[in-house]
Structure 1
Amino acid sequence: MEVVRDFLRDYPAVEGTIRERIEGFRRIWMNRDLESMLKELVFCLLTPQSKARTCWNAVERLEDRGLLTDGRYGEVLDAIPDVRFKYTKAKRIIMAGERFIERGEFILPGELEAFTDPFEAREFLVSEVNGFGYKEASHFLRNIGLGEDLAILDRHILRNLLRAGAISGLPNSLTGRRYRDIEVRMGDVSRSMNIPLSHLDLLLWFRETGDVFK
């Protein structure tokens, strides 16, 4: 299929950048970098229907103001003015802090250590983090070095999977079962091209945005 040939054509140009990005994610978990993990959690709470770089700028603003571990609702809201649905997302950041920050320490990584299976870790996050569906949980795990076998099925990825014939249409919503089904299909595409799933995600993101980011 022509679009698959396009994927294979584009991959060599960004493969090195993608490998560097994935290695950076791996180091976060290997080094137990709690600060980076907390930033990634907040980032993934902000990203739904918002631009990734806008969200990351908001995360850095929160960090600069000392609000990642000890922010009040109004302060958090003031730090994320450009993020869509900022009122809801500010509440979710506060709720995440109430659940996963104890005496100023981010405890979620310790809870994730109980899981050897990233798919089980994802189920835990979906149930425990207000604002996390399968996409957001997968995104967070990938970004902290634990989710290279998980698909991050945002609209950019789904459009490319449709073009590749992996899915027959764009779903209006994704139940857990439907998400896992499409994830398997994306894995099939990945193996057929001999491109790791985590690389394919960033490649498709690059094709849509011209950027290899998060």
Structure 2
Amino acid sequence: MKNTLPLSVPKPGLVRGEHEDMPLKGLIVYYRKIRPVIKRRISEFRSIIKGGKDDEIFSELCFCILTANASAAKCDEAIKELRSLGLLANGSACRIKPKLKGRARFHNKKADYIVGARKLFKDGVCLNIRGKLDTGNIIDTRDRFVGYIKGYGYKEASHFLRNIGLGADIAILDRHVLKNLKRYGVIDIIPASIGARKVYIDIEDKMRLFSKRVGIPMGELDLLFWSMQTGYIFK
């Protein structure tokens, strides 16, 4: 995993939250202002699929197992520590669990998920994730990953694919994105759950149409919405 750091961006207002009623025109102006930072981050994502090794790709896969309802920065710290100690590649769930405590929710289960994911992608003694990625059909790849990686729903699988440079036309429907999709009239309500494929795809399709209407690439919208809430762009 590369040493990805949060990239600070100018906030829409002086204080976080001042953008709450930002009109659509303001959103577009703000996007143009921070577009170079967004594109820099996306370029970093793409460098992983272009030249990253399988262990780096696996690090991103595990990072996305951890991030649900947790601090992305703390999860990133946990993955880096596990990797530096050799636990991500070879550690048992019992040795991984303490490193996740206080950083990821349900750390016991997620340690098991990491070990399970490693078994799925181990080809002998080496990881082989690239062989399971159909770069020509990302939707099918996402469906398969949701089907056999424990801890992965459509959001987590989309997050992983984006983080390795394969998410140009898919949505990461986290709370920041859903909140803003409702704000801009893309969806009427935020659903109680987005776990069902039909629900996820329906919102994703609506977001794709919104992306085309406002002229902001699909793969950049979630980073834009995230920065509006936090004042930085991470992953």
Identity %: 38
Question: Residue 30 of structure 1 is aligned with which of 41, 50, 54?
Answer: 50
Change in Cα spacing, 1:168 to 1:64, as seen in structure 2 (3 Å) is same
Aligned AA (2:199):
R
| Partner Cα distance (2:65, 2:125) in 1 | 19
Give the count of matched residue pairs. Answer: 213
Instruction: State the 1:112 CA deviation.
Output: 1.0
The answer to whether residue 39 in structure 2 is matched with residue 19 in structure 1 is yes
The answer to whether residue 11 in structure 2 is matched with residue 6 in structure 1 is no
CA offsets 1:132-183 (integer angstroms, 9 cap, x no match): 1100011101111112111000111000000000000110011110100100
| Aligned match of 2:182 | 162
CA offsets 1:22-74 (integer angstroms, 9 cap, x no match): 11111111114222211100100000110111110110011111111101111
- Equivalence map 1:93-104=2 (5 Å): 93-104=114-125
Aligned AA (1:119):
I
Question: Residue 84 of structure 1 is aligned with which of 105, 115, 122?
Answer: 105
Which structure has more relative contact order (CA 8 Å, sep 6+)? It is: 2
Q: Is the CA contact (8 Å cut-off) linking 1:122 and 1:137 kept in structure 2?
A: yes
Question: Residue 192 of structure 1 is aligned with which of 199, 205, 213?
Answer: 213
| Partner Cα distance (2:38, 2:80) in 1 | 22
Aligned AA (2:231):
G
| Aligned match of 1:204 | 225
| Partner Cα distance (2:217, 2:149) in 1 | 28
The answer to whether residue 131 in structure 2 is matched with residue 117 in structure 1 is no
SS at 1:89 equivalent: helix
| Partner Cα distance (1:8, 1:191) in 2 | 12
Bigger proportion of residues as helix: 1
Q: TM-score, normalised by structure 2?
A: 0.87
Aligned AA (1:43):
F
Structure 1: 5+ residue runs without aligned partners? none
| Partner Cα distance (1:191, 1:65) in 2 | 44
CA RMSD of aligned residues (A): 1.4
| Aligned match of 2:75 | 55
| Partner Cα distance (1:116, 1:103) in 2 | 26
Instruction: State the 1:92 CA deviation.
Output: 0.6
Q: Is the CA contact (8 Å cut-off) linking 1:202 and 1:212 kept in structure 2?
A: yes
Instruction: State the 1:103 CA deviation.
Output: 3.5
CA offsets 1:62-104 (integer angstroms, 9 cap, x no match): 1111111101111110111221111111111111111112344
| Aligned match of 1:40 | 60
Q: Is the CA contact (8 Å cut-off) linking 1:3 and 1:163 kept in structure 2?
A: no
Q: Is the CA contact (8 Å cut-off) linking 1:69 and 1:104 kept in structure 2?
A: no
The answer to whether residue 198 in structure 2 is matched with residue 177 in structure 1 is yes
| Partner Cα distance (1:2, 1:145) in 2 | 29
